[in-house]
Amino acid sequence: MSVESIRRILEDYEIGEPWKLSKGAGFVVPILGRPPFPDRNYVLLQEVLDRVSFKDSGGIGGVDVKNDSGRSVFVRKGTMLKGMGTQSRSPVAGVVLEPEKEMIRIPVDCIHASHGISGGASFMAGGLTPHSVYQSLGRQSDTWANISDYSTRARAGAMRVGGRSAAGYMASMSSDALVDVEESVGKFRDEVDDLLKQIPGDHVNQLGVVVFDLKGVLGVEVFDHPDSWHAFSKSIIRSYSEVLTDEIADIYEIKMDVAGPHLRNFLLKASDAERKLVTSNKVSKIWALTSEGVDGELAEVEGREIHLVLSRSVEHRQPIPRRLFAGIPRERQERRIVTSAYANEGAPIFTTMMHPPDWYRRQGSMDLLQRLDEKPSRFTELLSNMDVSRGTLSSRIREASDMGLIHKTTRENGYTAWKLTANEE
């Protein structure tokens, strides 16, 4: 099913002059439209921040939103919602808020794993998650893992710029708090900010941008109107800052006669993408797009395509086995996966991190859980069936036991074995 926005990029829109930092590993190409442009039948969240309120639903996967603007409001996937006394979140899909004053609930991922939840607490909308995190939204364990990876890279970059003062300051920040990491790194990246300001993002009639890295097209984003692009262009450009400001030793020349066909092939793949309806209401539809090598999202308001974002597909991280949580009520599953609640009777529930998100990526972690998901096993049985050393297996078992994922059980013959805690409940 063809996407009209892609056809317009291919046939009607103009691809502007490419731009890159002198030693940058990536470069950007503006997408320019031709007037007249249609009247906008919506506004972006960033244009009416004082008339849209966000409240914590009390569950990790949802945030309540109220739109008092009187207009349809587009909230882009990946918008960072900074928690005011609660864990920060980010929408896992774009959403158009209807011009009604009723509170609705939108699906989100947590972007601050170790912070507690406080039902009814407010959020402050900010910029966008880094592109590497954006691509994993909707898969919570992947999101946490990508935040951890991004934080490591961001800290290293800030320390290179800020030296010892940055090292000391950054050491005090939690690596799983994406909003805090972004704000903290900003204290030491004036140089990076100055570089980003040089990237042309506000051409007359600009509707969007194409971002290339050394592998080809990394992402494409386009709106239907220049006012929409200009309202959010700085945040969009910043979300690609890793690739745009990453330096390489060899300075290369951009050749659009080569880059152009790459972009065209990328768009042609996306033009036949399979659509899956993600959210819909009386005024809008949000579609997830999937094709070979390309993922994306398309937003429609009153039948007109207003926003398109495409990304080069990435390999998903290995998921946590769902059978691990067999027998646990759904409302408890999300809390069991990531949190352990310790609250006095009658007090608000504040949750604390139970499973470090990067634990599942350590050698042997997933293999251990999957094998115990099949049946309880003794240490020697696990050791003979897993490709890990005795010391590594001992560490994974101890860590999983400390987190409450597994526990010892006694077999009929009197021998002890390890068993998944979840399978007993």
The HSE-up count of residue 57 (CA atoms within 13 Å, CB side) is 18
In the DSSP assignment, the letter for residue 385 is H
- Give one DSSP letter per residue of 3-62, joined into a string: -HHHHHHHHTSEE---B--TTBS-EEEEEE--SPPPPPS-EEGGGSGGGEEEEE-SSTTE
Question: Which residue has tokens 């005024």?
Answer: 283
Task: Please report the pLDDT score of residue 171 as a whole number.
Answer: 57
Instruction: Look up residue 68 and give its two tokens.
Output: 């008092």
Task: Please report the pLDDT score of residue 332 as a whole number.
Answer: 38
All domains in the chain, ordered by first residue:
4-312 (no CATH), 322-424 (1.10.10.10)
Using DSSP's 3-state secondary structure scheme, residue 230 falls into helix
Task: Please report the pLDDT score of residue 74 as a whole number.
Answer: 98
Burial 317-356 (b: 16+ CB within 10 A, else e): beebbeebbeebeeeeebbbbbbeeeeeeeeeebbebbbb
Burial 76-96 (b: 16+ CB within 10 A, else e): bbbbbbbbeebbbbbbbbbbb
Task: Please report the pLDDT score of residue 165 as a whole number.
Answer: 56
Question: Which residue has tokens 């390999």?
Answer: 315
Enter the pTM of the model. Answer: 0.73
Q: Which of 11, 43, 29, 3 is nearest to 230 (CA)?
A: 43
Task: Please report the pLDDT score of residue 409 as a whole number.
Answer: 85
Mean pLDDT in order along the chain per 10 residues (425 residues): 85 89 82 93 96 94 95 97 96 94 91 91 95 94 88 68 54 75 62 56 86 92 96 89 74 76 94 93 96 95 97 69 43 36 30 50 82 87 88 88 81 83 48
Is 32 within 8 Å of 207 (Cβ atoms)?
yes
Task: Please report the pLDDT score of residue 187 as a whole number.
Answer: 56
